[in-house]
Structures are given as C-alpha cells and as structure tokens.
Amino acid sequence: MNYYTYIHMYNQSISHFIIIFSVYSFRNIWFYSKIKEIRWLAIGSIMKSIQKERRSTMIITIARESGSGGYTVGAMLAKHYSIPIYDRDSLSGLAREQGIYDTMPMFFDELPAQGFLLALSMGASVKQINKPTAEAMMKLIGHQDCVIIGRCGNHIFRNRKDCVSIFTHGDKEARIAYKMKHWNFSRKEAEDIVFHSDQNRKDYHKFHTGENWGEAKYYDLCIDTIRLGHENAAKLVIQYISTVLA
C-alpha cells in the first residue's frame, strides 16, 4: 500500500469512529434525558400528593382526658403533615407576641372555674368573655394548617370545612398509671392531677361553649387511646382525614 492508501484508510476509520461515537453519545444523551424526565415526573407526582394531603388537613383540634396522650397523638399528626402544633404554652406565647394575651389570660392559661366565677362577680358577662376569645383564636391561627390542643378548638373552628375535631379518652386507672410512669408521680399525685385536670377542662369547656366536654356529637372522632395506642390512634386519624377531606 502506498502513502495515499494509508491516508484514505485512516480517514475512513476516523469517520467510522466519529459516527459510532456520535450514535453512542446520542443514545446516552437520550437515555439520561429520559431518566431525568422520569425522575422529575416522579418528584412532581410526589409533590402533588403531598400538597393534596396537606390541603386536606388544614386544622386538627384535639381535646383530651388527662393521661390519655392527646398531645402525643397530636405531635405525631403534626410531624406526619409537617405542620405546627399549638398547646397552652405556645398559644399563650403567640397571644403575647400579638398583644392580646392580657385581655384574656384566663382563656389562654385555662384557669380553673373559680377564675371564671371571679370574672363574672366583677361584672363580666359570659358573652363578653366568650366572643372575644373565639375571635382572638381565629386571629391567632388564621388559615394556617396546624394542630390545636384544647382551647375549645372543636367549637371555635367548627364552621371550617377543613377542621377535624378529636377527643381522646381511656380507662381512668390506665391514665393514672400513664402519669405515674411518664412523669414519675406518686399514686396520690397522679390521681389528683387526673381528677382535677379533667374537672377543670370540663368546667372550662362548659363555660366557654355551653357544651358538654367529651360528648361524642361535638367531635368527629372520639378515640380510646388507651386501648388503641397512640400510634394507631394517629394512623386512624390520618385515614379518616384522607377519606373525608380528600
């Protein structure tokens, strides 16, 4: 072979290599672009599912017997939906930040019935006390997604179509044992706390709403968290929400 023949063969080889490389590269680019496309479609689908789930869980209110683990269930739900949870302390703090705490400290601190009787004896009417508290709660919460522990939430937010109200309860002896185990209370201390907490919440709710605390017709779900367990109770609420607010 002469010099020109080698040059011709070399040029042909380079051309074939370029063609093969181009086809291979094109296939790789197409393959990886498809993977990227599928990945973003999957992410988009997941995000839509999350957004749909979040939209269907605007506000969860939890009233609870002492020692039934209502706050624990609420914390599980808040974590599941990635939404805040508000209890007495956090709501009181929020009220202080917005400058409305001092106008109704008895409501935010869930003072015993004696405090309400004192307010009445000083000339305050039930209407004067109840209407501002409901308006204050609505202002504090607004339209955000959240879990609210206590504070007559089931009554105040009842007209919201995206509200799910829950009441947690259970065997009294088991609730006393729960307090003893998790808070290191003596038997007598746990008994007193369960009794007085339940009585106070009952009177507090009756005073602010005129309704019977814990009566099933005022809640979407009444759950025996002692028998069912906290985790299963949270799962039950999630299933309920996915059905009624889908």
Strands 146-149 and 85-86: parallel
pLDDT surpassing 80 at residue 197: yes
CA 164/CA 30 separation, integer angstroms: 48
**Highest mean pLDDT out of 45-49, 95-99, 154-158, 186-190:** 186-190
pLDDT surpassing 90 at residue 186: yes
pLDDT band at 27 (very low <50, low <70, confident <90, very high): low
pLDDT surpassing 80 at residue 161: yes
In terms of Cα–Cα distance, which of 106, 68, 72 is closest to 194? 68
pLDDT surpassing 60 at residue 82: yes
Q: What is the chain's mean pLDDT, rounded?
A: 79
CA 9/CA 151 separation, integer angstroms: 88
pLDDT surpassing 90 at residue 76: yes
Higher-confidence residue: 60 or 203? 60
CA 169 → CA 147, 176, 189, 205, 235, distances in Å? Answer: 18, 12, 20, 16, 16
